């Protein structure tokens, strides 16, 4: 009973210590464009403000910050199925478009950006901005790619946007957008300590059983 209790205690301690390292969550709301208010496949929806076919749904997460964009359901453009779920987003609607969100960050903390992207038509590109400064450029190709980079938090509301820089209908296509904090070295050390405690308890139990 004592050995079993000790192992359970070590396991609980390891989980509690390691939890902060896995607690990072996506700061982007609806990064896969699945909360749309629309239904069905084989359709696309032009979203934006003045002049767009549809207003931006209330639970969409992103604001359309320039002109209009197209929400594309699987089946519209066969080569460009969403990388996750049923929808992806064409950054050009009738015009060059942009989307953005605002969220809180901690001063000096590192944040990781991840974006799946392709293009609807050739020669498309877009710039990724944080607080108005470019942190990367998406250059489209005929297949889905993944863009990743990091930036430092400002300790104030952070404005994140992706803006098309090539005009005409059809632009960079986007899916699975995420921004998450990068665990600090101390957090990784805590995680390793937790798993080390668990490993020690298991080895001790094995030796006791063998004896």
pLDDT per residue, tens digit, the chain (211 aa), is 555 545 555 444 444 444 444 456 999 999 999 988 787 667 889 999 878 999 998 889 999 999 999 999 988 876 678 998 999 999 999 999 999 999 999 999 999 999 999 998 878 999 999 999 999 999 998 889 999 999 999 998 999 999 999 887 889 999 999 999 998 764 434 445 545 555 555 565 565 555 5
Q: Where are the domains of the chain?
A: 1-23+184-211, 25-182
pTM over 0.85: no
Tell me the CB-side half-sphere exposure of residue 169, using CA atoms within 13 A. 3
Place of tokens 């799946």: 116
Any residues with CB less than 8 A from the CB of 19 and at least 6 apart, and which?
none
Topology at the third CATH level for domain 25-182: Jelly Rolls (2.60.120)
Which pair of structure tokens corresponds to residue 162?
Answer: 């992706």
Distance CA 61, CA 45 (A): 16
């Amino acid at each position: 009973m004592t050995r079993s209790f000790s192992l359970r205690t070590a396991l609980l301690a390891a989980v509690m210590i390691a939890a902060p390292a896995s607690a990072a969550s996506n700061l982007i709301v609806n990064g896969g464009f699945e909360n749309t208010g629309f239904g069905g496949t084989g359709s696309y929806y032009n979203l934006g403000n003045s002049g767009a076919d549809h207003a931006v749904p209330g639970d969409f997460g992103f604001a359309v910050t320039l002109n209009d964009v197209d929400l594309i359901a699987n089946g519209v453009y066969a080569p460009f199925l969403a990388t996750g779920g049923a929808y992806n987003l064409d950054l050009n609607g009738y015009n060059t478009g942009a989307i953005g969100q605002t969220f809180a960050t901690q001063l000096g903390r590192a944040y990781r950006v991840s974006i799946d992207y392709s293009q609807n038509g050739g020669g498309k590109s877009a710039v990724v901005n944080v607080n108005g400064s470019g942190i990367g450029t998406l250059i489209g190709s005929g297949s889905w790619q993944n863009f990743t980079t990091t930036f430092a938090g400002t300790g104030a509301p952070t404005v994140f946007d992706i803006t098309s820089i090539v005009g005409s209908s059809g632009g960079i296509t986007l899916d699975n957008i995420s921004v998450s904090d990068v665990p600090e070295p101390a957090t990784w050390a805590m995680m390793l300590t937790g798993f080390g405690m668990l490993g020690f308890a298991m080895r001790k139990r094995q030796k006791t059983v063998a004896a």
